[in-house]
Structure formats: structure tokens, C-alpha cells
Chains A and B, each alone.
Chain A
Amino acid sequence: MSFRAIFPALSVVAFILAVWTAAVIPMNAHLTADLAARGEMVITPEAPRDRQALTGLGVILKNPGIIPMTYVLSRPRLPSPHQVAIEMYDTIFTHVPTSRRSLIYHGWVTLSATLLGFVIGTTLGVLLAVGIVYNRTMDKSVMPWAITSQTIPILALAPMIIVMLGSIGIQGLVPKSVISAYLSFFPVVVGMVKGLRSPDSMQLDLLRTYSASANQGFWKLRLPASMPYLFASLKIGISAALVGAIVGELPTGARAGFGARMLVGDQYGQPMVTWAALFAAAITAASLVAIVSLIERRTLRRMGMVAT
């Protein structure tokens, strides 16, 4: 990839880092001022109550000397980019991947649930789409329910799924995969229905003039025609699957996975842990989408559907 190609993306990243870095100062101003006052420093106004009346920016304007300290708090309200980077480096590179302190370990826990859920969701989605396209009854009955299913907040549904599956002895990977599948089947259904219906009447008539069977129509026309739609759906589906797996880790106090790390960081006042998990999850999602995109390009090119 050339520099020209990644320059726009890098610009956005640089902008976000700049805003983030600037936001650290006012966000952590009160915490830093309290800490500095307990130490040797003289802070104006002196009374913590008076400082609470000020905005973060107001505290900083009165005490510009505490600015460097806002970046090095051990329990900041908003960690600075370098603190998150250090936390990520430590948890990724300085522990063996099998250790519970390794982010790789937690990442794999979430990733395995994501991939299993994605496979289940995609399979289900494709099967439902085939049913919807070929069966009038399913067309009328399944689609409204598929849409309804996505209007239920997953945060409300996830604990119920986890608890219910747990009560019949299913724990660990599978319940999270179920939530992943629940989120990822939908874009696949929608995309595949559109894709399987994409051949125009002329292409269908052509097959009729050959007296082709419904089976042949599926394998030779509808399925290949749906490939571009399928890949578009898979890209949405795989990131949705990751979200599903993380959401599945939140409600029951799971002890491993990105979701568990986020929760632990929150509950024990370790914002760096939360943020590191957040970024690791985002990087994982981006990588998964990139992998699907790569497979998409390869496949469509081999099918002759992209001008090379």
C-alpha cells in the first residue's frame, strides 16, 4: 500500500490523537489538582469545593503548572494516548499469551466466540435467505421476524441468553457465540436475499429457454450472482459478531475476554485496562474486516467480476 493510499486515513488518526491529547488536560484537571494539593503544591482556589464549581478548563487556567501531571496520573479519568499505548504494549508483549494478564489471551477468548458465532450466523443467514427466495411462505413469514429480532436491544437480550443457556448447562464459548450469531445473521439474510434476487428477468428467461431445473438456476445463476452482496454482508456481519461476543461477556461477569477486561477496568478503577481492551477490540474488528475484504477481492477477481 502506497503512502498516498493511507495518507487520508493517517490524517484522521492524527486528528483524533490531537483532540484526545488536548482533552486529557481539562478532563483530568480536578483529579490532578486534588492530588497536587495533597502534595506540596499550592493550588488556587485552595478549597476542593471551590474547585468543583469550576470547569476543568477553569482549573487549568488558574493552575497551568499542573498540566504535565494530567498526563501521568495512575488512575486518570481519561488516560493519555501514551498511557494506553504502554498498557497495551505491556499486556500484549510482556506476558506469555497463555497468561491471564495477556491481552492476547483475552483476545483469543473473544475471537474464538466471534468466529464460531460468525460461522453459525452466516450459515443461518444464507439458509434463511435461500428459503426466503425460494419459498413464498418463508418470504412472508421470516423476513418480518428477522427485522423484529434486530429491534430488540442486544444489551437486554444478552443476559437472558447467557442465563438461560447457563441454566441448562451450556456455558463459556457457546452462549457468546449465540449472541454473535444473533447479530451477524441479519446482514447476511438481507444481503443474500438481495443477491439471490439480483439476476434480472432476462437472465432467468434465458435459463427457462434451456429448461434448466431450479437447482441449476441456483448453482449456475443465483448463487454466483449473489457473491458481491454476500461479501458486503460478511464485512458487516463479522464486526457485528465481535460486538456480540463482547456484549456476551459483559452481563455475567465473565472472567476472560475483551468484555471482561473492559468491565474489570471499570469496576476496579483502572481506566488504562478498559481503554487498552477497547483499542485491542477495535484493532481486532478492523483486522477481521480487512481479512474478509482480502478474501472478497481474491474471490471476485478469480470469478472475473472485478476489472483487474
Chain B
Amino acid sequence: MTHPTITAKSLDLTFETNDGPVHALRDVSLDIKKGEFVSFIGPSGCGKTTFLRCIAGLETPTAGEISVNGMTPEEARRARAYGYVFQAAGLYPWRTIGGNIRLPLEIMGFSKAEQAERVARVMDLVDLNGFEKKFPWQLSGGMQQRASIARALSFDADILLMDEPFGALDEIVRDHLNEQLLKLWARTEKTIGFVTHSIPEAVYLSTKIVVMSPRPGRITDIIDSPLPRERPLDIRDSPEFIEIAHRVRDGLRAGHGDGPVDE
């Protein structure tokens, strides 16, 4: 039994807006163990991104406790516990792909030699060999997102937090990247938190699926996937896969039903 890496206990987070308070998270409790691949799925406004940002210390919960590797998220961040991948690749246009991947290494003060070694290693990991000197605009959207994953991997954080990283990409590129991401996860044994809108993506990737629902943002179901860690793309046609997908869909529907009517 591995010790949980991330523990959240009854997290509440309320944003004060001009239209009154918005309950982004209410009573969210979750344990994530080392090496797990956890997906957060739910409609917009269910707090899945907010929860991920709480883990990363980018948002501060108004109540409840959260710890990462036994530290507060702030401390964990300073200890370089996570790499964060955003919805858009967000590469700096004035830096080459290599330069972008080097950015966190420069900020964290790695030596020049180590920077070069690490850049080469993670570029190999995301299959971007030979593109080090290219500028972002010379790469496709999928390649840019891979570069941003490499950037998040470069400083060897244990935890990789991904906020709908493939949301803007087309289906075929997304399938390919999902497959690559699983391989990468198997090779690096990282703990991954992954926010998505897509049921097949969540089921295909995860060892644990967290279904959330909006107003207030809360967890409605946590599904431990019985699928093996080794997953070819065609596992998506297996009965087990379809069964989990059904359960996720039911969870989403239930969450929608008992909430207030959409404004």
C-alpha cells in the first residue's frame, strides 16, 4: 500500500464575484496515490480545473486541507513537485522549442551542461528530436503541446498536472497523443492529474476517474479502473471499457440532474 501523494480533505473554495459568491468547490475530498493516473471529468464549472489549480497552489481553498507529498501546495511547488501543462501550449514565441523547454531549467538554476542534457532527454521522451532549433510557429498544434509536456517534464517533478492539454486538438492527433502519454507515464512512473471533457479520453488514460458536477463544484463519483496498465488503442472497444464509460456517463448525468437548472 503506497502512501497517498496528494490528500484533499473537505476542500471548499468560494470566489467572490460581482454577481455574488460562486461555489467553485464544495466538500471535495480525494486521495491520490503515487503513480496513479487520475482524470477529472465533468461539465464546465464543475471545479475540475479549480481543483487542479488548488493542488498546484495556484488557487487557495477557502476551507479544508490539502497536502502534497506531506507539504502544503506552496511548499511543494517550491520543492518543484509538479509540472503543469495548460490548455494551450503557451510556448514563448521568441524562444526556440529547445529554449522553451529550457525555460524552467534556467529559472531553477540548473547548470548549462545539465540544461542541455535534460532538454535532449525530454525531447526524446516526447518524440520531438530534431526540432530543438525550430520556433513554435513552425510546429503543428500537436507538436507544440508535446513540447509543452516536455517543458513540464524537464525538471523531473513527480507529479504532472494537465489541464485539458489536448482539448484544442483534433481527434486523430488526440488519440495519438493519448497513446504517447500512456507510454510516457509507464516509463516515468509519474503521478498524473488530468482534466478533460472527454469520456473516452478519461477512461482510456486513467487508473482512477473522478466525476464532478457543477454548482457547487463537487465530486459525484470516483471510479477505480479495472483496465490493465498496458492499453492499446483498441481497448476502447472492449466490454470493460464500455462499461466504465457508461458509469462515467451516468455519473455525469446524475450530477446534472440534481443540480439547479442551467442559467
Mark A residues whose CB is within 8 Å of B. Answer: 202-203, 205-212, 216, 220-221, 224-225, 227, 303-305, 307
Contact = CB atoms under 8 A, between A and B. Distances in A.
Interface string B234-248: 000000000000000
15 contacts: A209-B56, A209-B58, A209-B83, A210-B80, A210-B103, A210-B107, A210-B108, A211-B77, A211-B78, A211-B80, A225-B92, A303-B93, A304-B135, A304-B137, A305-B93
Contact of B87 (A202, A221, A304, A307): A202
A307 B135 CA distance: 9
Nearest to A203: B90
Contacts of B94: 224-225, 227, 303-305
Interface residues of B, number: 27
Given A209-B58, A211-B77, A304 B104 contact: no
Contacts of B56: 209
Nearest to A303: B94
Contacts of A210: 80, 103-104, 107-108, 155
Contacts of A225: 92, 94
B59 to A, nearest CB: 10
A209 B157 CA distance: 11
Given A227-B94, A304-B96, A209 B77 contact: yes
A212 B107 CA distance: 6
Contact of B107 (A216, A304, A307): A216
Contacts of B95: 304
Contacts of A307: 137
B84 A209 contact: yes
Which 8 pairs show the lowest CB-CB distances between chains A and B? A304-B135, A303-B94, A209-B84, A212-B107, A210-B104, A210-B107, A224-B94, A202-B86
Contacts of B93: 303-305
B117 interface: no
Contacts of B87: 202
Interface of B: 56-58, 77-78, 80, 82-84, 86-88, 90, 92-96, 103-104, 106-108, 135-137, 155
Given A202-B90, A304-B135, A207 B82 contact: no
Q: What is the predominant secondary structure among interface residues of chain A facing chain B?
A: helix
Which has the most chain B C-beta neighbours within 10 Å: A203, A208, A303, A304? A304
Given A211-B78, A216-B107, A224 B86 contact: no
Nearest to A300: B94
A79 B57 CA distance: 72
A304 B136 CA distance: 9
A254 to B, nearest CB: 43
B180 to A, nearest CB: 22
Contacts of B86: 202, 205-206
B6 to A, nearest CB: 15
B92 A202 contact: no
Contacts of B88: 202
A307 B58 CA distance: 34
A220 B77 contact: no
B107 A221 contact: no
Contacts of B137: 304, 307
Contacts of A203: 90, 92
Contacts of A303: 93-94
A207 B87 CA distance: 15
A18 to B, nearest CB: 44
A294 to B, nearest CB: 19
A205 B104 contact: no
A235 to B, nearest CB: 20
Nearest to B79: A211
A225 B90 CA distance: 12
B58 A208 contact: yes
A207 B90 contact: no
Contacts of A227: 94
Contacts of B104: 210
A231 to B, nearest CB: 13
A6 B259 CA distance: 65
A305 B93 CA distance: 6
Contacts of A209: 56, 58, 77, 82-84
Contacts of A207: 107
Nearest to B137: A307
A216 B82 CA distance: 19
Contacts of B106: 220
A122 B139 CA distance: 36
Contacts of A305: 93-94
A303 B136 CA distance: 12
Contacts of B80: 210-211
Given A206-B84, A206-B90, A220 B103 contact: yes
